């Protein structure tokens, strides 16, 4: 498969934050695999978005407040900061999500300006990658598709939590079943590299 990136395409990099990487509060075991593909891909896109999980201290997804997860990505803390291996110069717009207590914050499209910002910039197709394939990448891709954007998930530029060992495989199957393409970073060619 070969995909050519053009000016109507955007890259959405999901939650490349300390808490989702090895050493973090909710670490994705092989999370570091995403950096090399993201580095290669980001310069090929005219628009690059980076989402941040950005929760209040008493967020409803935290175990002490009845949720499934350890406390993670508390707004303003180091755990919520982007990992330095994400090249911030390539990121045009940061989207904070899960900002209020009750929104789970999985999707970059819930209670954010992401859809309107993409439309404002004439984006028709989005490529979604980052952390984690089985939660926030999946939810963001589903919502992008539902919002009318052609949606592609980049498998090797994403990594999964895998609470159950086959969660990544299941997530990718669900995405394909919904009409979302799943590609590898090497499938994406740079013919329309539009900025340096």
Residue given tokens 């508390």 in the structure block: 74
Q: Which is nearer to ligand VGL, 106 or 149 (CB)?
A: 106
The nearest distance, CB 135 to Zn ion, in angstroms, is: 8
Distance from CA of residue 129 to its chain's centroid?
A: 5
The nearest distance, CB 131 to ligand VGL, in angstroms, is: 5
Query: Is residue 97 among the annotated active site residues?
Result: yes
Q: How far apart are CA 15 and CA 158, in angstroms?
A: 10
Q: Which does 19 bind (CB under 5 to 8 A by kind): ligand VGL, Zn ion, none?
A: none
Q: Which is nearer to ligand VGL, 28 or 48 (CB)?
A: 28
The nearest distance, CB 135 to ligand VGL, in angstroms, is: 3
Residue given tokens 């393409």 in the structure block: 181
Residue 53 as a binder of ligand VGL (CB under 6 A): the answer is: yes
Say how many residues touch ligand VGL, by CB under 6 A: 11
Residue 131 as a binder of ligand VGL (CB under 6 A): the answer is: yes
Residue 53 as a binder of Zn ion (CB under 5 A): the answer is: yes
Query: Is residue 58 among the annotated active site residues?
Result: no
Cα–Cα distances in Å, from 162 out to 31, 138, 170?
11, 13, 10
Binding mask 58-97 for ligand VGL (x = CB under 6 A): ---x-------x----------------------------
Residues with a known catalytic role: 15, 97, 136
């Amino acid at each position: 498969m070969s995909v050519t990136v053009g000016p109507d395409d955007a890259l959405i990099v999901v939650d490349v934050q300390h808490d989702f990487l090895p050493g973090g509060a909710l670490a994705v075991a092989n999370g570091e695999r995403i950096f090399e593909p993201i580095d290669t891909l980001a310069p090929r896109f005219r628009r690059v978005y980076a989402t941040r999980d950005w929760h209040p201290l008493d967020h409803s997804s935290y175990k002490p407040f009845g949720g499934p997860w350890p406390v993670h990505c508390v707004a303003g803390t180091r755990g919520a900061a982007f990992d330095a291996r994400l090249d911030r110069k390539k990121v045009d717009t940061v989207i904070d999500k899960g900002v209020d207590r009750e929104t789970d914050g999985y999707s970059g499209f819930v209670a954010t300006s992401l859809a309107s910002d993409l439309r404002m910039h004439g984006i028709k197709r989005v490529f979604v990658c980052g952390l984690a394939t089985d939660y926030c990448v999946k939810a963001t891709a589903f919502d992008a598709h539902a919002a009318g954007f052609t949606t592609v998930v980049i498998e090797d530029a994403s990594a999964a939590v895998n609470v159950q060992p086959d969660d990544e495989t299941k997530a990718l199957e669900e995405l394909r079943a919904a009409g979302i393409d799943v590609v590898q970073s090497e499938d994406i060619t740079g013919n329309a590299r539009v900025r340096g």
